[in-house]
Amino acid sequence: MAAIDAPSTPLELFLITTLFDGGHIAPAIEELRAAGLGDKVDSWVGTGENQPLAADELTKALGDNIARIAALLGLGADEVAEKAAAALPVTFDALSPEGKVVTQ
């Protein structure tokens, strides 16, 4: 499992605080499952290998949410999707040690 000390960029921090409802990842898990990414999410919170997430998969699944985050950050939607697609698997993995979702 990959470990992270803290978000390394403002975008990572924003994604975590936006998607994780104050640090709880369960609502984000359900949102991503409902968007059709359940198999990938399950790999991230499980104990096996993390399935990769492509930016276009995330954009297709979340659409307007990616555009909204991009607008709030003053970035392009493609850049947000790429960074989010890279950050989400690692972040979910780190927040679910031994396959158990941390709910603090």
Tell me the average pLDDT across 76-84: 93
> In whole angstroms, what is the distance from residue 52 CA to residue 6 CA?
21
Residue 31 is predicted with a pLDDT of 87
> In whole angstroms, what is the distance from residue 16 CA to residue 19 CA?
5
CA-based nearest residue to 87, from 5, 16, 1:
16
pTM: 0.74
DSSP 51: P
Tokens coding 8 = 């390394």
| Residue 103 in this model has a pLDDT that exceeds 80 | no
Residue 21 is predicted with a pLDDT of 46
pLDDT in tens, 84-101: 999 899 888 888 888 887
Secondary structure of residue 26 in the 3-state scheme:
helix
- Domains of the chain as residue ranges with CATH: 10-95 (1.10.10.690)
Contact 102, 22 (CB under 8 A): no
Tell me the average pLDDT across 70-92: 90
CA dihedral 60, 65, 66, 67 (to 10 degrees): 110
Residue 13 is predicted with a pLDDT of 65
Secondary structure of residue 7 in the 3-state scheme:
coil
